[in-house]
Structure 1
Amino acid sequence: MLERNFKQYAALSPFELKDKLIAVASSDAQRLMLNAGRGNPNFLATLPRWAFLSLGDFALRESERSYSYLDSGFGGLPEHEGIVQRFESYAVNHRQTDGVRFLRAAISYVSDQLGLNRDAFLFEMVSAFLGSTYPTPPRMLCHVEEIVKAYLAQEMFGPLRPSGAFSVFATEGGTAAMTYIFQTLRVNGLIKPGDKIAMATPIFSPYLEIPVLAEYGLEIVDIRMDRVDDWQLPQAEIDKLIDPAIKIFCLVNPSNPPSSKLSDAVLDQLAATVAKRPNLLIVTDDVYGTFADDFVSLFAKCPKNTLCVYSFSKFFGATGWRLGAMALHEDNAFDAALAALPETTKLLLDKRYSSLTTTPRNLRFIDRLVADSRAVALNHTAGLSVPQQLQMALFALSGLMDREHRYKDAAKQLIRKRYLTLYRHMGVAAPHELNDVNYYSLIDLQEIGGTLYGPEFKAWFIRSNLGVSFLFRLAEETGVVLLPGNGFEVVDTSARVSLANLTEIEYASIGKFTRQVLDECHADFVKAAA
């Protein structure tokens, strides 16, 4: 075995521990390493990518029109007037391609459903593909924002109607959104060292790791989900949010790694509690919401208090594109908190943002996020690259125009079938509750061990603190890499397996190998008891 002192790795981030496990799992050159430690999907949406390519072909032809009298290879900016008419002429010769059909439908959709001007929309998309101008406005291209807003309204609000207008900031993935949020909260005096921040746990580990960094120094208050109740939030835990010392509440919904959405009842309980705390700031990370059935975000239930983070990476198979967005209602608690800052703080912030506007106190929180992402001085060059924004818009349009939910249903069925396969090959029943999403599965090792071998083995397994050593043993003996549940603030001895990034036959192997190592642990238990 390459590593023996497993306890030295217990404090590592699960994503750093993953690298140690991969080294162990890869040590046998004759064996295939199965890495289910990261949530990078092995499926992706092809139609909006075909549209991107088709638009690129048309965009380059438009560019070459500007300087067609010069040598080949020299282009210019596209011409706005008549661009849709020219595209229709182009489409006549490319009518059979999936990408062109998608684009023709998109031009029709944005006009009929979103009220956007067809020429203005297509001109923005063509210009975005060429990437020859700065993102303008820096926060988000105008038509892209309207499309993404419509997509978020569809996916985050369920049957609810949006409560007022909201704005969107396109970011380099959900991770950039997280970074910007904490940074802007700090520099604007909305959080300071010693303040309390509540976390609905288990949770994606960076939400636990960022607040305790020296530059933030926040005290984390654990709002614990109940494993027995399908990872819902009990009322007693929700009641902790009444504490006025808690400045922010962060949650991932559906949860990571349990992969369960909050029920309607829990959302209503949260909304009732937040009504008693109108100044509570909420950050909800809803990246897995599109995999859930009948999903409703806290962004819809508590619109004034909640900033929503969404990423296109998982659902559309686009982690490498780095496409994220955060949304905030026009009437929100973040701007109210800025208005309530003491005068001394406001004067400092007036100076910070004075190069951007003559009325810095009117600068909204979401626009401060943009400015702070580029150290204020470079606000004029802020924003996600425009080709990325174009692909984001095409992803959003594919979700909006998929009236029969074919892609969504296929993605759900794929991961849920893998889930059943995993548990079947462990030899235990696959638990399923109404709110389960199954993008990840949290394999509760001690519970499965108790089911298979009885309560005495379960107690021994817990007492022996075998979580990390189990993962190393699994990696060394079988080549399977999983992440530790405790890195996400899971209490039980558990392992997170992503159901998105391997084949079904490989999940069968993971189930079989997990059972194999549990059997070996049981043999150790029997030997120790003898």
Structure 2
Amino acid sequence: MPDTNYSRFAQLSPFELKDELISIASSDAQRLMLNAGRGNPNFLATLPRWAFLSLGDFALREAERSYSYLDSGLGGLPERNGIVQRFDAYATHHRDSDGIIFLRSAIAFVKDQLGLNRDDFLFEVVSAFLGSTYPTPPRMLTHTEEIVKAYLSQEMFGPTPPAGSTSLFATEGGTAAMAYIFQTLHANFLIKPGDKIAIATPIFSPYLEIPILSEYQLDIIDICMDRTDDWQLPQSELDKLLDPAIKIFCLVNPSNPPSSKLSDAVLDQLAALVRDHRPDLFIVTDDVYGTFADDFVSVFAKCPYNTLCVYSFSKYFGATGWRLGVIALHDDNVFEAALSALPEDTKRRLDTRYASLTTEPRALKFIDRLVADSRAVALNHTAGLSVPQQLQMALFALHGLMDREHRYKDAAKQLIRKRYQTLYSHMGIEARHLPDDVNYYTLLDLQEIGGDLYGAEFKAWFINSDLGLSFLFRLAQETGVVLLPGKGFEVVDTSARVSLANLTEIEYASIGRFTRQVLDECYADFKAA
């Protein structure tokens, strides 16, 4: 491979660099390109999708009950009265359908386990499938919110049930949630240019890229995970949060790309620090990979007063194209306290901003400001995630709640963890699985792997030669394998991120072999040098 100057790619987001690598990897028509650079899973939950289709058939029959005399394909809005009885009659003729079996279970579950009215629930989801009315309330459909709250309580809180009440805002995936949070914090003067933002690194690269945009201009403070301690946060790094100039702390848990959850000890240390020293700290935790972890507990469970929790259904349910996410916020929270403490002149400016929504703008909750700001305030009345999307979200959440034997969850975990073992074994390296590991991604620490395989001198040469980017381009050109650079996620070591979610096991075996092949070639270059 000819020498190439890759410095021009150094500032690209890893997701933009991926396109360059794909172009190189796919240039040879005689081989298969293997793209492990993106975390879009190649598995998905089928039962809640069957339920969506079955509900759709029933919903259209409900719509056809109106205006059928016109014989023109014109339907009407469903009727609430008697809707469960009509569904039961419909279900008796489709009793062998997986979707109908799921829906009958769901109707019983929401009444027995969540205390919801069956007719109200079924009327909401039938109306949602038809998509013929605006989202009402705009923040989230009433029964869908209760179902998703129950799901998050099950998945995010571990053995400790949530204290107090929580509100949710349904968003177009976790990425929209990120954008809305920064936007509303800025619009409400809770963050301003020059403020410090602490970020647990390594991290999903947009968390590094958003704060430095011109409208935010935040000063990033790295809270560095310890690679040698399974990517946990040392107390010395957590102590950086004692700085009162740090307004907000962002983290992805389990981490992306190291794919390790925070240990119980670290969670307790963080909670104690916030309780005793930083009760004013804003925390944003992105917990999209929590459902792949064993015995997961969110920062939201440990620090409910201080934390905005972001969750996306995209990875666990194989639904990246659906764009389904939520923001969860405890009703008693630090953001309301910060709004209340703003100077009077700032409050007057915000009164003007939200005056079209309420006669008491100062009483507008932070989560409702998120909704309003997501539609430039003036379009608040048409805000909200589309109702068919909210329906599928509710069905996904019900699937998680009703999976009492954890069949789907265990299958998903086993799938990605077996791929992890396969990848490393075909590099000729022992694959360790520690208690806090999740394995949705893995970071190939190239300099450490090289040192283990070929010795300390090769490791030093690899580091000094700055071979991170060139290794990825070489891998793409010679083998057709696409990985992302760890550096783009604020990884200190020379490394590459491998998604273990989007290819087959045999393809991960190939990636392992090809990675070892290019490392062997680098070792040959080292000996020649």
> Counterpart amino acid of 1:94?
H
Q: Percent identity?
A: 82
TM-score when scaled to structure 1?
Answer: 0.99
1:318-354 CA distance string (max 9 Å, x none): 0000000010000000111111111111000000000
Distance 1:85 1:423, change over 3 A: same
Partner of 2:384: 383
Partner of 1:283: 284
Distance 2:58 2:218 in 1: 51
Distance 1:33 1:69, change over 3 A: same
Partner of 2:190: 190
1:368-390 CA distance string (max 9 Å, x none): 00000000000000000000000
Q: Give unmatched runs, 5+ long, in structure 2.
A: none
Q: How does 1:425-436 map to 2 (within 5 A)?
A: 425-436=426-437
Distance 1:2 1:197 in 2: 42
Once the 2 structures are TM-superposed, how far is the Cα of residue 81 of structure 1 from its aligned partner? 0.1
Distance 1:382 1:393 in 2: 19
Once the 2 structures are TM-superposed, how far is the Cα of residue 271 of structure 1 from its aligned partner? 0.1
Q: How does 1:254-403 map to 2 (within 5 A)?
A: 254-275=254-275, 276-403=277-404
Once the 2 structures are TM-superposed, how far is the Cα of residue 230 of structure 1 from its aligned partner? 0.2
1:56-103 CA distance string (max 9 Å, x none): 000000000011211141100000000000000000000000000000
Distance 1:304 1:176 in 2: 23
Distance 1:326 1:385 in 2: 16
Matched residue SS, 1:293: coil
Matched residue SS, 1:247: strand
Distance 1:278 1:5 in 2: 48
Distance 2:287 2:98 in 1: 30
> Counterpart amino acid of 2:424?
Y
Partner of 1:472: 473
Once the 2 structures are TM-superposed, how far is the Cα of residue 51 of structure 1 from its aligned partner? 0.1
Distance 1:455 1:419 in 2: 26
Distance 2:315 2:185 in 1: 27
Matched residue SS, 2:419: helix
Partner of 1:507: 508
TM-score when scaled to structure 2?
Answer: 0.99
Matched, 1:31 2:31: yes
> Counterpart amino acid of 1:389?
Q
1:203-226 CA distance string (max 9 Å, x none): 000000000011100000110000
Distance 2:71 2:373 in 1: 43
> Counterpart amino acid of 1:215?
E
Once the 2 structures are TM-superposed, how far is the Cα of residue 399 of structure 1 from its aligned partner? 0.1
Moved >4 Å (runs of 4+): none
Distance 1:45 1:272 in 2: 38
> Counterpart amino acid of 1:176?
A
Partner of 1:151: 151
Q: How does 1:125-204 map to 2 (within 5 A)?
A: 125-204=125-204
Distance 2:164 2:500 in 1: 37
Distance 2:2 2:166 in 1: 53
Distance 1:71 1:446 in 2: 71
Partner of 1:54: 54
Q: How does 1:452-471 map to 2 (within 5 A)?
A: 452-471=453-472
Once the 2 structures are TM-superposed, how far is the Cα of residue 163 of structure 1 from its aligned partner? 1.4
Distance 2:412 2:433 in 1: 18
Q: How does 1:210-229 map to 2 (within 5 A)?
A: 210-229=210-229
Distance 2:163 2:270 in 1: 17
Q: Give unmatched runs, 5+ long, in structure 1.
A: none
Matched, 1:450 2:454: no
Matched residue SS, 2:285: strand
Distance 1:394 1:339, change over 3 A: same
Once the 2 structures are TM-superposed, how far is the Cα of residue 3 of structure 1 from its aligned partner? 8.8
Q: Is the contact between residue 2 and residue 24 of structure 1 (CA under 8 Å) also seen in structure 2?
A: no
Q: How many residues align?
A: 528
Matched, 1:83 2:102: no
Distance 1:106 1:456 in 2: 61
Q: CA-atom RMSD, angstroms?
A: 0.8
Q: How does 1:2-17 map to 2 (within 5 A)?
A: 4-17=4-17
1:241-284 CA distance string (max 9 Å, x none): 01100000000000000000000000000000011111100000
Q: Is the contact between residue 193 and residue 218 of structure 1 (CA under 8 Å) also seen in structure 2?
A: yes
Distance 1:293 1:499 in 2: 17
Once the 2 structures are TM-superposed, how far is the Cα of residue 2 of structure 1 from its aligned partner? 9.1
Matched residue SS, 1:251: strand
Once the 2 structures are TM-superposed, how far is the Cα of residue 4 of structure 1 from its aligned partner? 2.4
Distance 1:25 1:7 in 2: 19
Partner of 1:68: 68
